[in-house]
Amino acid sequence: MALVYRVVRQKYADRPLDVAGTRLNGGRWNPPGVGILYTAEHPALALVEILVHMPQVPYEHLPSYRLFTLEIPENSQRMVKPEELLPYWNENTYARSQYLLQDWLTKPDTLALGVPSSVLPAGINYLLHASHPQFADIRIVAESDLVIDPRLRNG
């Protein structure tokens, strides 16, 4: 089994495997209409991926978060390297990157697709496809409050 990490707002902590948000709004790697679960190879990367979307939010106004450790079946993932992607994969707008993985989004041949983080390209985010049969095999093995050190926001 392999471990991945997911940060979830406290108000959604009762449904950490829910993909309704990405299905409705899309994300970097998926257009609206396709639900995938965004996870990371390490808790710190999962946190950075959340904080990058809230640069103007003062520390005292950050929402409360939970950190989930998820266990996915071994051999249920494959990697996509940056050099396999078109050069615009990490643009700040998602209009083009949402379709780079169209084949996998349409017909997921594996549960988890490892992709480079646009925030920290040496890091790996794992996209978990909710339509893949192994999605039901994901297990939550740990859950905890995510305490964000104020120094990350106030320098």
**pLDDT exceeds cutoff 60 at 155:** no
What is the domain partition of the chain in residue ranges?
A: 2-154
**pLDDT exceeds cutoff 90 at 134:** yes
Extended strands (E) in 2-135:
2-9, 36-40, 65-72, 77-79, 112-116, 124-129
Q: What is the pTM of this model?
A: 0.92
pLDDT of 2-44, one tens digit each? 999 999 999 999 999 999 999 999 999 999 999 999 999 999 9
Would you say the C-alpha torsion 17, 99, 89, 25 has a positive or negative sign? Answer: negative
Question: How many Cβ atoms are within 10 Å of 101's Cβ, its own excluded?
Answer: 22
Query: What CATH number matches the domain at 2-154, 3.90.175, 1.10.287, 3.40.50, 1.20.1510?
Result: 3.90.175
pLDDT of 38-87, one tens digit each? 999 999 999 889 888 777 777 777 788 999 999 999 889 999 998 999 88
pLDDT at 73: 94
